[in-house]
Amino acid sequence: MKKIIAIMPIFLLLLFSCNKENPPSGVYIGDFFGTYSINGNIYEASLIGVQLEITETDENHILIGADSLDKDGKKVTGILSIQFHKDDLITINGKWKKEKGTYIIEGDFTSNYLFMNAHPPATLPVSGKFKIESTFN
């Protein structure tokens, strides 16, 4: 019992001193790789090297430009108002982590792809994986 009482303050100190880190403000680069289907055929669509700036983070949100993404622990969800193809927005569902000094948000995305070669042009759903990485360490 005395050992438990002696260890308890150390445990509490460690518990409350843990750094509840958030992805910091700064410039990030995003890559989006997806697929869409036409008449049963699968095609690739990508958006590579998109510059994004995280301007603010807190316990519940990540602000990228004017877009406020929801953050619950490591989970990040929301809509980015960057254009995947033409005027469509990107909906993301992912997680953030810090890996070897680099902050990363990655997961799944959905958007729409405007297929101009169809007659008439068609808007098709596109989905895939994304990765947004900090450009600083």
pLDDT, greater one: 53 or 12: 53
**Domain CATH number, residue 88:** 2.40.128
For residue 90, the tally of other CB atoms under 10 A from its CB is: 23
User: Tokens 């953050």 identify what position?
Assistant: 71
Distance CA 96, CA 111 (A): 20
Q: Residue 18 is encoded by which pair of tokens? A: 């843990």
Q: Are 11 and 5 in contact (CB under 8 A)?
A: no
Q: What is the pLDDT of residue 78?
A: 98
* Domain assignment present for 47: yes
Q: What is the pLDDT of residue 35?
A: 95
Q: What is the pLDDT of residue 39?
A: 86
Query: 88 lies in which domain range?
Result: 20-134
The pTM of the whole model exceeds 0.75: yes
Each residue's pLDDT tens digit, 1-37: 566 665 555 544 444 445 468 999 999 999 999 999 9
| Beta-bridge mates of residue 42 | 37
* Domain assignment present for 116: yes
Phi, psi of 50, rounded to the nearest 5 degrees: -75, 125
* Domain assignment present for 90: yes
The domain tally of the chain equals 1
* Domain assignment present for 9: no
